[in-house]
Structure 1
Amino acid sequence: MNLRPRILLMTALLLGALLATMYYAASSRLAGSYAQFEQRLGETHLAGLQQWFAHELQGLEATNGDWSSWNATWDFAAAPAQRYIDDNLAVGGLAQLRIHLFVIFGRDGRPLLGVHNRPADDADVAPAADDPAFVARGRGGVALQLRDVLQPCGEHELAQLAALPGLTALASDSRRRMSGLLRLGAQAYLYSARPILDNAGQGPVHGVLLVARRVDRALLDTLTQMNSVPLQAVDTQQPWPGGAGEHWLEHTPDGELFGWLRFDGADGRPALVLRSGPLPDLRPQAIAAEEWLRYTLLLAGGACVLLVLGLLERLVLRRIAAIDAGVAEIERSRDPGARRIADSGHDELARLGHALNRMLDTLQAAHLEIIREALHDELTGLANRRRVFDALLAAIATQDARLALLLIDLDGFKAVNDTLGHAAGDTVLRTVAGRLRAATRRTDLPARLGGDEFVVLVVAGDAREDAQWLARKFAHAIARPVPYGDTYAQVTASIGIALYPQDGRDAETLFAAADAALYAVKRAGRDGWRFATDQPAATLDDR
């Protein structure tokens, strides 16, 4: 037999054996991969639920921080009064924040106020028949009244809350915080507890504020819509597999996959148990993939595949895999400079590597430049004009938004530049930026518009009251002398304040109103502040 037929016959036999081996190995691997992917998909789903609850707790802690570090709450904890309830709790504020339980404890651990924020026809709102409603009392023992959707907590409920491990220690340590899940009767809550301090976050501690959000059907329905997987709360006494940890996956006899998730309370007992599923079934996709693999391997092949496989792996595939790995690593890290692409040689793949590296260098430089220019002012490190405008537009787009815009212009800055030089002016701008940053809260956004103009966006709390309080702080802070060499630079601030929606319903109108108020302060003698809707300007001397 000639060499050609023998090579063809041997190639056909080797290719047939190779295709059969590839099919059985790939089929087995594919089935195992789908099973592993289904398992990882379930674990990722449960991890996502845990992250969502952690995110909800972070938001609840931030809300508690605003209420607990507030002079009104601080004063109430020292001397309970009806006005605090009427002005802050009975006007729908808790409902907007989705706060369902609001409890204030005194320094001695006794409850001063305990309310449920739920409709009166809610079956869960009333205390149990054997749990008398707690009555908050003010000065002289006068009972405080609850109105609208506010309902009193039961005394047994408050006793259960007061018994939370570590709660009483909050009243003696202003730095301690507590958060997690708890269970009152048949209802699970996300809760946050913090010591009650003044506006500046200083003591003495007057008590402890505990706020909680119900894990109810509405919240679970929201999670179901987000994940497209049914979610339900089950009995916390449900048996839990040993060694399962906080979550586990249940494979039913009919092949369905369910996820179980447990959240423990501060006492170590289950506060909430969730069952999620059935999770997406990947068996049809696995069967279809196996059929596709079978037909592909039966139709594919040929003598050229076996002959060129070695060269293809050595000269092409291995190098492409290296390029792909480099690109995948860059994609995972979101950093164009995370890795260089292999570009050794002089062929097409080498030129491709060279081109990709040049492109990545350009992207890295552009990426860094965009981040720097888009987010920060180069001189002061504050947010720049674009960022504050984006934040203002986002705040206006929220429902029932209440915010304030404080436009600040430095008085006497030109004189500093003229007498001490532009370097001194830059020092003044950086110092003023640092003082603004120190005087604002984490919910406020200070920014530099350019030159000696600054702006602060206030998006939380009582916009008018907070704006006036911040304007007073800014005026005092900016008026302090700025050391420069062996002398001092002195500037003051003229501040114009515009409120949304009173002074405008878009960014341009608000800035125009704040600018008009600012120049009214300038005309009135500078060194003060004014609301756009006010006539006379408030000066620092007036305060």
Structure 2
Amino acid sequence: MKIRTWALLVVSGLLAGAVLIMQVIIAPMLLTEANEADRNAVEENVLRTTNFLEKEKDGLLRQTIDWAEWDDSHQFITGDFDNYEELNLDDDMLANIRVQQIVFLDQDGELFFEKGIDGEGDRLDQPETFFRELEEHAVAGDTSFFEESNHGLMMMTSHPITRNDGSDPQGTLLMGRLVDEQYTAMLADTLSVDVALLSDERLMSLQEANKINSTYAITEGTVLSVAGERFYYDSQSANLIHLQLTAGAALLVIAGLFFAAFRYFIGMPVTRLAEQVKQIDPAVGGEVNTYGRNAETIQLEREINTMLANIREANQEISKMAYRDQLTGLGNRFYLTSQFDAFLTKHDGRAALLFFDLDGFKKVNDTWGHDTGDKLLQQAARRLEEHFDVSRFITARVGGDEFAVLMAYDSEEDIRKAGAEVIEMIERVYSFGTYLASVSASVGISMYPNDAGSLSELLKTADAAMYEVKQSGKGRTMLYQELKAQSEKRKPMDRNA
């Protein structure tokens, strides 16, 4: 066999081997990882969608509680406020608070009053079975649930109707929000997520090759679909094609050099080819660095590094969206959870949580609209962020108008001082051009590990202390330990009663 024929066979074998490795090992591995990254991105969007719906229910429940624990509502259900519907339940008011269905049940659990309007301001007529289902939920004590209606799925919340001080319960107030295509369009726009109610048309669109999707079942009969572009997969596929073309061109160049070397230097060791192949083989790491510096390897290095940089940027953006509140820029509940253990380690396993919401915020929203309410939340967040040192404090927005401050402390005096500073900051006047607004803060404080053994328990106990503040006067602070002490004092009285 001629040596040139032998050389040609060797080069052909190398080219075939390189192609085989690329197609059988490297390409499936990279595409599998890219597909998994796309799947994880969609599942993160499902989680964000789920959390959004939970926050919506919490916000609607707090709104329902505000209306239910209102003297005007109490007078209306007892028949002592004839103009209540005209003054408080007109179409503009319901649209402003994003309520499509409001229902009053009397003390016997029977329908006393109901009104429903859709997003276009048209009347919602519901069957008697719908209201019977609501009555059963109220009797069962369900505070938030989903219920099917003639107009689609309804997110419902309920609370007993009482006076402002929580006394003299007289029936139940229920508020509902339609989860329809218009609502899901708002949800998709808010979260920048491709989400819609599952339908035949939707199923057809999800079959597109460039889509990856998942679903979230709100109820047995209602399913949300969450879809996303195959960003990583498409990007990786394009880069693989480019990588294959570039590698093929590089191998052809090597083959040409090999034959030229044979022409001028007969008997040159075949290892010369292996060395050149080694020189253009990239090292795997945070950044690709080639051993050779010829044009092909330099180009390949740049393209791979560009791809890695794009992936890093995308991951950073996803992390930012997952852990930051989009309105205020503060950390959200997930960020607080992710930093909690490290914060405890840094500060000797001790921390205090200041949990508060904005008293009077509903009035600002109802009076000047949600845009003004959003601006107020942003100003409040900036005050907290500018005041508290990040080395000892973590500030977060955990709900509609709810905030949390996780702090390191040396003494109880430090905690009370921080609570007083929060109240002082929140109570400063907020300026919106030609008009001013004021709110206050009710601060509940819980300490780790004295009051709770986890972040969720810390939030729960701090919320209980905050609720007690709101019930007993607002605009001040209370430690959960004080609430426990009050409860202990009441126990002997309860037993004697």
When the two structures are superposed, what TM-score results if normalisation uses the length of structure 2?
A: 0.50
More helix by share: 2
